[in-house]
């Protein structure tokens, strides 16, 4: 998802709120450029011809994301919420 964000200063920017490939929410302090290098779906989309016929097999994308999440540090909140204090 990409949306406009309007600031009180009158400035408007376009921000990415969610990765278009894997659906991971992108935090405000983070950018899509910070997420993409570790995007679990990136390699599938990078394959030759991946975007033909409506894109890659959703099952493969889901499997890659599930594998990635299992690998993720549990203390890092996926929704960008408060981190678990230790």
Distance CA 29, CA 7 (A): 15
> How many alpha carbons lie under 13 Å from residue 42 in its C-beta half-sphere?
12
Q: Which helix (H) or strand (E) holds 35?
A: helix 32-35
Q: How far is the CB of 21 from Zn ion (least distance, A)?
A: 4
Residue 14 bridge partners (DSSP): 4
- Residue of 22, 44, 64, 65 interacting with Zn ion (CB under 5 A): 22
- Residue of 19, 44, 64, 65 interacting with Zn ion (CB under 5 A): 19
Q: How far is the CB of 49 from Zn ion (least distance, A)?
A: 20
Distance CA 42, CA 55 (A): 12
Site for Zn ion in 24-83 (CB under 5 A): 24, 39
Segment interacting with Zn ion, rule: CB under 5 A, options 6-14, 22-30, 49-57, 65-73: 22-30
Chain residues in the site for Zn ion (CB under 5 A): 19, 21-22, 24, 39
């Amino acid at each position: 998802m990409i949306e406009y964000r309007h600031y009180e200063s009158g400035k408007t920017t376009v921000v990415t709120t969610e990765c278009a490939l894997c659906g991971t929410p992108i935090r405000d302090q983070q950018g899509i450029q910070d997420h993409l290098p570790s995007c679990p779906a990136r390699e599938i989309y990078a394959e030759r011809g991946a975007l033909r016929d409506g894109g890659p097999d959703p099952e493969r994308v889901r499997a890659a994301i599930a594998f990635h999440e299992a690998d993720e540090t549990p203390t890092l909140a996926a929704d960008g919420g408060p981190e678990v204090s230790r």
